[in-house]
């Protein structure tokens, strides 16, 4: 499961931020996960307790914002949502479109840190 490896990297980044901020713990971590990122939200949820065990992030909530993939369509003049079966054409009008504008994201959106005196 590659989600565990991804989450270990997230935990490392959040631990660094917590140390820099002098945090005593972490209440929540938010991730932005694109529908074409290759990361499965359910697998991320399942691996979260394993990835955080014994760290300052242990016990924190994982909050996932799933980002729908979309391409820019020159024919429509706007972004068009696509799914995993996207075939390099606009799903609305059929115009060739290879410009993915979102959907591959895998990023920490925020970490809600507990700092001394602020719980």
CATH for 16? 3.30.2320.80
DSSP the chain: -HHHHHHHHHHHHHHHHHHHHT-SEEEEEEEEEETTSS--HHHHHHHHHHHHTTSTTTTPEEEEEEE--EEEETTTTEEEE--TT--SB-TTT--B---EEES--EEEEEEEEE-TT--
Q: Domain for residue 25, yes or no?
A: yes
Whether 24 is covered by a domain: the verdict is: yes
Q: How many domains would you assign to the chain?
A: 1
For residue 74, the enclosing domain spans 2-114
Q: Give the tens place of pLDDT for each residue, 99-115.
A: 899 999 999 999 999 98
- 90, part of any domain: yes
For the entire predicted model, the pTM comes to 0.88
119 belongs to a structural domain: no
pLDDT at 12 over 90: yes
């Amino acid at each position: 499961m590659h989600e565990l490896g991804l989450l270990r990297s997230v935990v490392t980044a959040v631990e660094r931020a917590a140390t820099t901020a002098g945090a005593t713990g972490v209440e929540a971590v938010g991730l932005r996960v694109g529908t074409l990122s290759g990361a499965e939200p359910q697998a991320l949820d399942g691996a979260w307790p394993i990835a955080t065990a014994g760290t300052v992030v242990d016990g924190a909530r994982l909050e996932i914002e799933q980002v729908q993939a979309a391409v820019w369509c020159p024919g429509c003049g706007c972004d068009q949502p696509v799914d995993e079966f996207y075939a390099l054409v606009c799903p609305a009008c059929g115009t060739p479109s290879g410009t993915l504008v979102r959907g591959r994201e895998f990023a920490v959106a925020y970490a809600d840190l507990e700092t001394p005196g602020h719980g």
